[in-house]
Structure 1
Amino acid sequence: MQLPDLNLLPALDALLRTGSVTGAAAELDVSPSAMSRTLGRLRRVLGDPLLVPAGRGLVPTALGRELAPRAEQALLGAADVLTRPAPPELAALERVFVVRGSDESGVVLAPALAAAAAREAPRVRFRFVPEGDEDPADLRDRVDLEVGALPAAPPSDIRVRTVAAHLFAALVRPAAPVGDRLTLAEFVALPHVTVSRRGRAHSVVDERLADLGLRRDVLATVPAIGTAILLAGSADVLALVPSDAAAVVAGPAGLRVHPIPLDLPRVALGMLWHRRWDTDPAHRWLRDRVAARMAG
């Protein structure tokens, strides 16, 4: 669509409201001669005089009277479009956020986000979806926020924020034959339960043990932390899970948490989202709440 020169709109509004070339010029901070030339352009564009002499002043023509309220509304509408909207009232915000992450991330984040929503944004809802083989490009249209371990090279339009780094911990039932402080000997003596969505039993734990000439017995590899918790509560095994998730589930599950007696690397944790949400206040609220819980 071929648009007219929209720079004429403020002048048209000022001329029809003030009924004066001088008054309109003063209002728009231009010279009277410049405003007179603009009036000439408006007359040519609209094919109408718009303002005509009446005594010592000017009065609008029939078209001028018709256009006056329309020009004012159009100008107000344009100003509204080009004005940054006020942040939404969280109490009235209605939105469903799709959050993708590992099972462990859900264990840590779901209770914290539910509590934050209850306090601050009671109409906000969450849909937690599991991580899988999806591409980070899903953040462009299907997923609002991804949390967990960070990919090596996300697409250029995907934002990445590192929030924390965690270690793994061992969950064990109180009756298991370990002392108050888990020793390396106790660590290798008990069977292990590992959590891996892809069923991987071997990890950096095995590499560190191999450096010491030791091996462990992996009783089971399970895809979800819930299964690992059930196994730890029903047998003398060590369930190896991220330390932040261990801290959340240990009390309700009646389990003890022990640091793993190995020099293990920390796993960087963070968030990914599409850049279109950078300045969205509601999405920023979500990111801030996730970051606070992950860093805490």
Structure 2
Amino acid sequence: MHLDLNLLVVLDALLDEGSVMGAAERLHLSSPAISRSLGRLRKLTGDDILVRTGRTMVPTPYATAIREDVRLLLSQAHDVLVPSRTLDLDRLERTFTLQCHDGLATALTPALLRRVQENAPRVRLRILTESSVDTGDLRRGRVDVELSEDQPDPAEFRSETLGSDPLVVAMRSGHPCGGQLDLRAYASYPHVVVSRRGRLAGPIDEVLAAEGLRRNVSAAVTTGAMALHAASRSDMLVTTTALVSRPLVEAFNMICVPLPAAFPAASINCNWHQRYDSDLAHTWLRDQVRAAVTDLVAG
């Protein structure tokens, strides 16, 4: 059966106005058009809806019984077709999932949590470390925001560069190099590298090779925390990014010096799926992430 939902609008007006003429004036339609709709309503429901009593019309018991249901249905339809464009943060209850490098998560989480808790106390965050393979979680909606050096290629994704993080070399306090490194000295010391896939070489090794140098990589570990912890108790060097490593460098009482080679800073990109473009809560979350990264860069 095909249902004309416009009949609900007419029915609501008829029940409120109590007359065909009143409903016609309210809906800016002709009285004959409203009469035809009333006839369709009577046929569809098997009820007269409105009956004449003297000079006025009164609703039938059935019409009286469904009046609130009609109003509720119209209100729900309005909410679906004309959603509210305001966000009540005090009442917002939602769990957002963010995914990023473990080092960036360590550096960013305190400021991000503070902002979320202060403004939307019922919002919860799940912060996951990035995977060594493409899981498709961003596409499937299992991850709301991905913070990464990379930007996704397909047009269905959105990306915003929030900042950049220059490369530095971290070492223990009292390291034999005395906090002074040229490229040859950099290559001469043992290194621990961070690689989710266990790779023992990276782009910096191409720079060294162009200068006829090769570094001694003693180990590859999966997290920055492991690498920095190992280097804090040895003469190994860790090539990392300044902002991401700062909390652990401070915690392990280490020092950082600039990488003694021209190398581009790592970008911090905020990636999300286009399904969230008009989602007010998701837009607010991205604002909080952006502000937290800005605080991190400025800090």
TM-score by length of 1: 0.86
1:177, distance to aligned residue in structure 2 (A): 3.0
The answer to whether the Cα contact below 8 Å between 2:161 and 2:269 also exists between their aligned partners in 1 is yes
Relative distance call for 1:109 and 1:123 in structure 2 (3 A) is same
User: CA-to-partner distance for each residue in 1:92-142, whole Å, 9 max, x for gaps?
Assistant: 444333322222222222222222233223343333333224435222143
Once residues 167 and 205 of structure 2 are traced to their aligned partners in structure 1, the CA distance between those partners, rounded to angstroms, is 13
**Where do residues 227-238 of structure 1 align in structure 2 (5 Å cutoff)?**
227-238=226-237
Once residues 134 and 250 of structure 2 are traced to their aligned partners in structure 1, the CA distance between those partners, rounded to angstroms, is 35
The answer to whether the Cα contact below 8 Å between 2:9 and 2:74 also exists between their aligned partners in 1 is yes
Once residues 67 and 124 of structure 2 are traced to their aligned partners in structure 1, the CA distance between those partners, rounded to angstroms, is 46
The answer to whether the Cα contact below 8 Å between 2:132 and 2:196 also exists between their aligned partners in 1 is no
User: CA-to-partner distance for each residue in 1:207-254, whole Å, 9 max, x for gaps?
Assistant: 112222222222322221112212222122321112221233322221
Which residue in the other structure is 2:129 paired with?
130
Relative distance call for 1:64 and 1:204 in structure 2 (3 A) is closer
User: CA-to-partner distance for each residue in 1:158-209, whole Å, 9 max, x for gaps?
Assistant: 4333333333211122211335554334323332221111121211211112
Which residue in the other structure is 2:44 paired with?
45
User: CA-to-partner distance for each residue in 1:67-100, whole Å, 9 max, x for gaps?
Assistant: 4343333323333443414655434444333322
**Where do residues 1-296 of structure 1 align in structure 2 (5 Å cutoff)?**
2-85=1-84, 87-139=86-138, 140-150=140-150, 153-154=153-154, 156-179=155-178, 182-295=181-294, 296=297
Once residues 173 and 181 of structure 1 are traced to their aligned partners in structure 2, the CA distance between those partners, rounded to angstroms, is 13
| Matched AA of 1:174 | S
Unaligned runs of 5+ in 2: none
Once residues 52 and 220 of structure 1 are traced to their aligned partners in structure 2, the CA distance between those partners, rounded to angstroms, is 88
Identity %: 38
| Matched AA of 2:222 | P
The answer to whether the Cα contact below 8 Å between 1:190 and 1:237 also exists between their aligned partners in 2 is yes
1:151, distance to aligned residue in structure 2 (A): 5.2
1:7, distance to aligned residue in structure 2 (A): 0.5
| Matched AA of 2:81 | L
SS of the residue aligned with 1:90? Answer: coil
1:8, distance to aligned residue in structure 2 (A): 0.9
Once residues 51 and 122 of structure 1 are traced to their aligned partners in structure 2, the CA distance between those partners, rounded to angstroms, is 50
**Is the deviation greater in 98-107 or in 193-202?**
98-107
| Matched AA of 2:185 | E
User: CA-to-partner distance for each residue in 1:46-80, whole Å, 9 max, x for gaps?
Assistant: 33433333333333344443443433333233334
Once residues 152 and 68 of structure 1 are traced to their aligned partners in structure 2, the CA distance between those partners, rounded to angstroms, is 51
| Matched AA of 2:254 | L
User: CA-to-partner distance for each residue in 1:30-59, whole Å, 9 max, x for gaps?
Assistant: 122322332233233333433333333333
1:16, distance to aligned residue in structure 2 (A): 2.0
Aligned residues: 294
Structure 1 vs Structure 2 CA RMSD: 2.6
Relative distance call for 1:166 and 1:40 in structure 2 (3 A) is same
Once residues 63 and 96 of structure 1 are traced to their aligned partners in structure 2, the CA distance between those partners, rounded to angstroms, is 43
Relative distance call for 1:150 and 1:175 in structure 2 (3 A) is same
The answer to whether the Cα contact below 8 Å between 2:189 and 2:236 also exists between their aligned partners in 1 is yes
Relative distance call for 1:213 and 1:280 in structure 2 (3 A) is same
Relative distance call for 1:136 and 1:293 in structure 2 (3 A) is farther
| Matched AA of 1:240 | T
1:260, distance to aligned residue in structure 2 (A): 0.3
Once residues 68 and 207 of structure 2 are traced to their aligned partners in structure 1, the CA distance between those partners, rounded to angstroms, is 78
| Matched AA of 1:147 | L
The answer to whether the Cα contact below 8 Å between 1:15 and 1:24 also exists between their aligned partners in 2 is yes
Unaligned runs of 5+ in 1: none
Once residues 116 and 25 of structure 1 are traced to their aligned partners in structure 2, the CA distance between those partners, rounded to angstroms, is 52
| Matched AA of 1:207 | E
